[in-house]
Structure 1
Amino acid sequence: MWGADRERSRAADRDRSRCRPCCGVALDLGGARTRAWVTGEETILDVPAAAVPDTGATRPVPPGGGVDPATAGPLLDRLLGPRLAGRGRPLVVVTAPVLDGVAYRAAARAAVAVLRPRAVLTVPGARAVALATGADLARPLLVVDVGERLTEVVLLGDGAVVDARRTALGTAALPGGGRARLAEAVVVMLTAMLRQDRTSLMLDALRRGPLLAGEGALRPELVHHLSGRLHSPVEPVPAPRTAAVRGAAVLLEAACAHPSVSGRPPAPVQPH
């Protein structure tokens, strides 16, 4: 009898777990700002990526790239810990620069470990930006992400990264004729990608016109200059500072709706 009671209690616990709303965090660790969205909240957290006092470190994401878990971990705990208290272990989706590779993703996972996540997913920043805009990912797409000191150009095909380039130039170079220099650097990267492409993906993406993300999307003079140099429409991303974390939130919500997370059975397929 006692065994049957225990089994009924476990079944009830499983049912309650399935009914509990998905707890999750979308996260964008930037060099200057840390941005996060927690499921169930209406606003995006957007704070300076400043050091936590008494750690002896400076920034969670150093100027040269990468993630410092020793600094990022305490920052995330201070920022998100109180919001996640009592909500269970979160599912975390983190944006990652395309060219920073496995080392960045491993360091990001180490930093996020302070939140005791049930799972950590990473999404390329360019894909996150495209998701935030609702872009048609079935077609080839170029994303030009112009930050303060780095510019990344990424070609997406079917939503996956096909090719990418980076240059150590950004909006900090714009004063004093830097527009032309930055635009020329973007053109050089795109030309190299076009020459290397053995398909029509790059050409189709250029004809479609790139999405412009990052701080550069807030500079109309840069948009105009790039459009002229590329002979193609350049579309600035709406609210570019939060585009990456909003795209991560789209992926997070999709993951939360998956039967393996939500506990709900998949919807039955209706006969035609």
Structure 2
Amino acid sequence: MSPGAPPGVLVRERVVNAGRRLVALDLGTARTRSLAMGGNAMADLPSVIARGADAVRPIRHGMVIDPGGCLRLVRLALRDTRLYDSRPLERVLAGVPLAASRSDRGAVRAAVAEIAGCEVRLVDEPLAAAVGAGVDVLDTRPCLVLDVGAGIVEVVAFSQGAVVDAAALQLSATTGTGLASYALEGVVDMTAALVRRLAAGARPATRARGLVVTGGGARQEELLRRLRASVRLPVGVAPQPQHATVRGLMRLCLQPALAVAAKPARG
């Protein structure tokens, strides 16, 4: 979900081959990323499908709005993973926004299953992003993750793998330089409100762990400055934040115990 990212690129990424063909899939509003176990590259392409002379975006706010277009987008993403491994797929882990409804989740599952022809598991994207950023989501101390995507921004408090509290803001547009001014203010207010809602006894531990920002908009300096001033917590940016979700999905493929222990996505 990286606003302003370059058009289709392959990002070098090393993943240990455990003898199975598993794929992590992040269907974003602006970018779609896939990573196969045993592959040596991450597929990173615009979430755009050509339909005649028109360019169609089948994903909005991180959710499917054009099922036919989504099928074509998933086919392109999975095709790239076959360049490195032609074996049949065993499983796909696909990210979905925490705010996605049951029908939204069903649309993602149906599109991926039709193209992949294998088991499809859905994982809430903020959880995957936290895992991809190296956050220990199973720690008893609450941790905060702000996932800044091109179409939706979600802030989540985790404790022992479960969601303690969460909020989301859907974006109508994202500029190449980050969040628009109206959205920036909304994201900061939303995050500060969640921090205020935390139980008083949990605040010292939360303060010690701080807030981790992921997603394509994570490096916007004005956002980070205003977050630090408003939430009064340490605010850090995940390494290569635009890839945190797909990397987290792959880590969940590789660590099934973590995937079981963490609260799964609904639907």
TM band (smaller chain): 0.7 to 0.9
Which has the higher relative contact order, 1 or 2, with Cα contacts under 8 A spaced 6 or more apart?
Answer: 2
1:73 counterpart (42, 56, 71):
71
Larger helix share, 1 or 2: 1
1:59 counterpart (57, 60, 67):
57
Match for 1:127: what amino acid?
Answer: L
- 1:87 CA displacement: 0.8
Q: Give the match's secondary structure for 1:248.
A: helix
| 1:188 corresponding residue in structure 2 | 189
1:31 counterpart (2, 18, 29):
29
2:164 counterpart (159, 162, 165):
162
Greater shift after overlay, 141-150 or 128-137?
141-150
| 1:114 corresponding residue in structure 2 | 114
Q: Give the match's secondary structure for 1:223.
A: helix
Please give the per-residue CA displacement for 1:84-135, whole angstroms capped at 9, x wherever unaligned. Answer: 4741233000111011132222111111123344311111111111111221
Are residues 120 and 199 of structure 1, via their aligned partners in 2, closer, same or farther at CA, if it must alter by over 3 Å? farther
- 1:175 CA displacement: 8.2
* Mapped partners of 2:97, 2:124: distance in 1: 6
Are residues 242 and 214 of structure 1, via their aligned partners in 2, closer, same or farther at CA, if it must alter by over 3 Å? same
Match for 1:40: what amino acid?
Answer: G
| 2:143 corresponding residue in structure 1 | 141
Larger strand share, 1 or 2: 2
How large is the RMSD of aligned CA atoms in angstroms?
A: 3.3
Please give the per-residue CA displacement for 1:10-69, whole angstroms capped at 9, x wherever unaligned. Answer: xxxxxxxxxx92111100000111100112111110001111445988222035843533
Are residues 55 and 217 of structure 1, via their aligned partners in 2, closer, same or farther at CA, if it must alter by over 3 Å? same
Q: Is the 8 A contact 1:206 1:232 kept in 2?
A: yes
* Mapped partners of 2:111, 2:179: distance in 1: 39
- 1:177 CA displacement: 8.8
Q: Which has the larger radius of gyration?
A: 1
Q: Give the match's secondary structure for 2:95.
A: strand
Match for 1:158: what amino acid?
Answer: Q
* Mapped partners of 1:39, 1:176: distance in 2: 33
| 1:126 corresponding residue in structure 2 | 126
Greater shift after overlay, 167-176 or 138-147?
167-176
Q: Is the 8 A contact 2:25 2:92 kept in 1?
A: yes
Are residues 183 and 230 of structure 1, via their aligned partners in 2, closer, same or farther at CA, if it must alter by over 3 Å? farther
Are residues 55 and 83 of structure 1, via their aligned partners in 2, closer, same or farther at CA, if it must alter by over 3 Å? farther
| 1:265 corresponding residue in structure 2 | none
Q: How many residues align?
A: 237
Are residues 101 and 202 of structure 1, via their aligned partners in 2, closer, same or farther at CA, if it must alter by over 3 Å? farther
Q: Give the match's secondary structure for 1:155.
A: strand
Are residues 185 and 113 of structure 1, via their aligned partners in 2, closer, same or farther at CA, if it must alter by over 3 Å? same
* Mapped partners of 2:98, 2:237: distance in 1: 20
TM-score w.r.t. length of structure 1: 0.74
Q: Percent identity?
A: 33
| 1:150 corresponding residue in structure 2 | 152
Unpaired runs of 5+ residues, structure 2, are 1-17, 260-267
